[in-house]
């Protein structure tokens, strides 16, 4: 049996759950500017597959890269780290 390839994982906050079995996750990336050393925040949105429709808006989730599930979905929800308050 072959070993599964390394898959990227990201952690982010669900900003939309209006679609069936799909959530939009905002992932925040913080990095220091090369010249000025100011911390810059970059946000990216990913559509992720949520098979059980269990993630809601405001939840912190971990997503993992997977095969293309639709035209824009290439990630799936692995676990809900923290439910929204």
pLDDT digits (tens, 9 = 90+) for 6-61: 899 999 999 999 999 999 999 999 999 999 999 999 999 999 999 999 999 999 99
pTM for the whole structure: 0.88
Rounded Cα–Cα distance for residues 34 and 17 (Å): 36
Per-residue burial over 25-51, b = 16 or more CB atoms within 10 Å of its CB, e = otherwise: beeeeeeeeeeeeeeeeeeeebbbbbe
Domains identified in the chain and CATH numbers: 9-82 (2.40.50.140)
* 79, two tokens: 């676990």
CA atoms in the 13 A half-sphere facing the CB of 34: 0
Rounded Cα–Cα distance for residues 37 and 30 (Å): 12
User: What integer pLDDT is reported at residue 81 of this predicted model?
Assistant: 98
């Amino acid at each position: 049996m072959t070993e599964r390839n390394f898959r990227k994982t990201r952690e982010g906050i669900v900003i939309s759950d209006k679609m069936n079995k799909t959530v939009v996750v905002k992932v925040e990336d913080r990095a220091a500017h090369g010249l000025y050393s100011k911390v810059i925040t970059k946000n990216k949105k990913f559509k992720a597959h949520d098979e059980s429709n269990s993630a809601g808006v405001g939840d912190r989730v971990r997503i993992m890269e997977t095969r293309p599930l639709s035209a824009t979905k290439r990630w799936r929800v692995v676990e809900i780290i923290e439910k929204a308050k």
